[in-house]
C-alpha cells in the first residue's frame, strides 16, 4: 500500500484555471472526500487521478511511481485504480456477474481466480442472490453496488468514486453510506470520494479536502473542519452558526480558540467594531438562561424536529444562533452564555 500524492497540480481549460496549486498527500487506506460547491474542481481533480485528464503542471505519484507530470502520463487502464461513477456505467446486456467479471476478463485472469474474486465481491456488496439478473432488473442502489463490486475485483489499492450516490433518493443514500463504510473496512483500499454534499463527506471520510474556485481551502478531519474552519465561507459551508466581529487582541487572532470571558466582554458592548477578527460561534456553544450572561432578545424561533433554532439579537446588535429544547416567544429577553468561539481568517475571494 502506497501514499498517493498530488504535488502542486494545476489544470486549465482554454486558459481558465479549474484547479490551482493543489497539494494533497493521501495516506494508504484512507477514506478521503473531495468536497466543494459545483464547479470548484472536484471532478477535474478525480479525473486527473484516474488519468482521464492530463495535468497542466505538477505531478501525481502513487508511492514511488510517477503517474502524471509534464512528460509522463500513465493511461487510466495502466494505473490499476478502481472507478465508480454517478451513472453506474454498467453493461446493459450483461448479467450482474458478467459485469463484475468484466475487468478480470480484460486482464485475462484465470477461471478459478475469477470465480473466487466474483464471489467475494458479490458477498461484500450483498448481491449474491442477484448474480444472474440484468442491470435493468435492479434498483438504483443495487446497480451502484454492482459498480462497487466491479471496482474491487481487480483488488486495486485505490478506488476513485465520483458522486456515486447523486442519483439515489435520500433514504437509499443513508443505506448506501453504510455499504461504503463496510466496503472500505473489508477491502482496506484507499478511497477518494467526490461529493458536493457536506453531510455525506463528514459521515464517510476520515480526511476532507474542501475546494473552492479550484483552490484547496482546507484539508482536515471532519471534526477539525467543523470546530476549526479556516474561513467564514468554510464555517458556513460545513455547518451552522454565527460569525461575530471582535476587536483583535493577543488572544483574538485567526486560527485560535476564543475563551468564554473574552467573548462575553465584547458581546455586552453596545457597538460592533467596524474592523476586527471574525469569530465563529456554533449553536451548540450557546446556552440560554433566565438570568445569567449576555442579555439577548429572541428575534426568531423555528422548530427543526427535536430542537428549536433560536435567533437572538445582542447588545452589540450582532446576531447569535442557539438551539433550545422548548419554544421561546419572539420579543422575549433572556440571557446567553457562550462557551467558546473560533477565530477565522478573512475570506480572500
Ligand atoms: N473539459 C472541460 N473543458 C472546459 N472546461 C471544463 C472542462 N471540465 C471542467 N471544466 C471547468 O472546470 C471547472 C471545474 O469543473 P469540475 O467539473 O471539476 O467541477 P466540480 O467541482 O466537479 O463541479 P460539479 O459538482 O458541478 O460536478 C468548471 O468551471 C468547469 O466548467
Q: For the domain that residue 221 is a member of, what is the CATH number?
A: 3.40.50.300
Residues 205 and 266 both lie in one domain: no
Residue-level pLDDT at 125: 81
- What is the domain range of residue 189? 4-227
Number of domains in the chain: 2
Residue-level pLDDT at 266: 84
Q: What's this model's pTM, rounded to 2 decimal places?
A: 0.89
Q: What is the residue with the minimal CA distance to atom 22 of ligand 1?
A: 43
Q: What's 135's DSSP letter?
A: G
**C-alpha–C-alpha distance, residues 152 and 103, integer Å:** 9
Q: Is 42 in the pocket of ligand 1 (CB under 6 A)?
A: yes
Cell of 310: 433560536
Return the H-helix or E-strand segment holding 166.
none
Q: In the structure, what pLDDT confidence band is assigned to residue 349 with cuts at 50, 70 and 90?
A: low
Residue-level pLDDT at 168: 74
**C-alpha–C-alpha distance, residues 14 and 256, integer Å:** 40
Q: Is the pLDDT of residue 348 over 80?
A: no
| 349 located within any domain | no
Q: What is the DSSP string of 183-206?
A: HHHHH--EEEEEES-HHHHHHH-S
Residues 222 and 289 both lie in one domain: no
Residue-level pLDDT at 63: 94
Residues 195 and 327 both lie in one domain: no
Q: Is 46 in the pocket of ligand 1 (CB under 6 A)?
A: no
Nearest ligand 1 atom to the CA of 194 is 22
Residues 183 and 318 both lie in one domain: no
Q: What is the pLDDT of residues 19-55, one digit of tens each?
A: 999 999 999 999 999 999 999 999 999 999 999 999 9
CA of 42 relative to ligand 1 center, distance in Å: 8
Residues 122 and 266 both lie in one domain: no
Residue 256's Cβ-count burial label (10 Å; 0-12, 13-18, 19+) is middle
Cell of 188: 482496506
Range in 86-90, 204-208, 220-224 the model is least confident about = 86-90
CA of 211 relative to ligand 1 center, distance in Å: 12
Q: What is the pLDDT of residues 232-279, one digit of tens each?
A: 999 999 999 999 998 888 778 888 999 999 888 888 877 777 788 999
CA of 20 relative to ligand 1 center, distance in Å: 13
CA of 41 relative to ligand 1 center, distance in Å: 6
| 283 located within any domain | yes
Residue-level pLDDT at 178: 85
Q: What is the pLDDT of residues 169-219, one digit of tens each?
A: 777 788 888 888 888 888 889 999 999 999 999 999 999 999 999 999 999
Residues 176 and 284 both lie in one domain: no
CA of 11 relative to ligand 1 center, distance in Å: 10
| 12 located within any domain | yes
Average pLDDT rounded to a whole number, residues 116-130:
88
**Percent over 70 (pLDDT), the chain:** 99
Q: For the domain that residue 255 is a member of, what is the CATH number?
A: 2.40.50.140
Q: Is 195 in the pocket of ligand 1 (CB under 6 A)?
A: no
Residues 200 and 304 both lie in one domain: no
Q: What is the DSSP string of 21-38?
A: EEEEEEPTT-EEEEE-ST
Residue-level pLDDT at 84: 84
26 φ, ψ (degrees, to nearest 5): -105, 120
Amino acid at each position: 500500500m502506497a501514499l498517493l500524492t498530488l504535488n502542486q497540480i494545476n489544470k486549465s481549460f482554454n486558459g481558465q484555471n479549474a484547479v490551482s496549486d493543489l497539494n494533497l498527500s493521501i495516506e494508504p487506506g484512507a477514506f478521503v472526500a473531495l468536497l466543494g460547491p459545483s464547479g470548484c474542481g472536484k471532478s477535474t481533480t478525480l479525473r486527473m487521478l484516474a488519468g482521464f485528464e492530463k495535468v497542466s503542471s505538477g505531478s501525481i505519484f502513487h508511492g514511488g511511481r510517477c503517474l502524471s507530470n509534464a512528460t509522463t502520463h500513465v493511461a487510466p487502464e495502466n494505473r490499476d485504480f478502481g472507478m465508480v461513477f454517478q451513472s453506474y456505467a454498467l453493461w446493459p446486456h450483461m448479467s450482474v456477474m458478467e459485469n463484475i467479471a468484466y475487468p478480470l476478463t480484460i486482464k485475462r485472469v484465470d477461471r478459478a481466480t475469477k470465480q473466487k474474486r466474483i464471489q467475494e465481491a458479490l458477498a461484500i456488496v450483498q448481491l449474491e442472490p442477484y448474480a444472474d439478473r440484468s442491470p435493468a432488473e435492479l434498483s438504483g442502489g443495487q446497480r451502484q453496488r454492482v459498480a462497487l463490486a466491479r471496482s474491487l475485483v481487480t483488488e486495486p489499492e485505490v478506488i476513485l468514486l465520483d458522486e456515486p450516490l447523486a442519483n439515489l433518493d435520500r433514504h437509499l443514500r443513508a443505506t448506501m453510506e453504510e455499504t461504503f463504510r463496510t466496503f472500505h473496512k473489508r477491502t482496506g483500499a484507499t478511497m477518494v470520494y467526490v461529493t458536493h454534499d457536506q453531510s455525506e463527506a463528514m459521515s464517510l471520510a476520515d480526511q476532507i479536502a474542501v475546494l473552492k474556485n479550484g483552490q484547496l481551502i482546507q484539508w482536515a478531519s471532519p471534526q477539525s473542519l467543523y470546530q476549526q474552519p479556516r474561513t467564514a465561507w468554510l464555517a458556513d459551508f460545513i455547518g451552522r452558526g454565527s460569525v461575530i466581529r471582535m476587536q483583535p487582541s493577543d488572544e483574538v487572532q485567526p486560527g485560535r480558540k476564543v475563551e468564554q470571558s473574552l467573548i462575553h466582554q465584547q458581546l455586552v458592548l453596545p457597538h460592533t467594531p467596524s474592523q476586527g477578527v471574525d469569530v465563529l460561534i456554533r449553536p451548540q456553544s450557546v446556552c440560554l438562561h433566565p438570568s445569567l450572561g449576555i442579555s439577548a432578545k429572541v428575534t426568531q424561533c423555528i422548530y427543526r424536529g427535536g430542537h428549536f433554532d433560536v435567533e437572538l439579537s445582542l447588545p452589540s446588535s450582532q446576531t447569535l444562533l442557539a438551539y433550545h429544547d422548548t419554544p421561546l416567544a419572539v420579543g422575549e429577553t433572556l440571557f446567553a452564555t457562550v462557551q467558546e468561539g473560533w477565530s477565522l481568517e478573512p475570506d480572500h475571494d
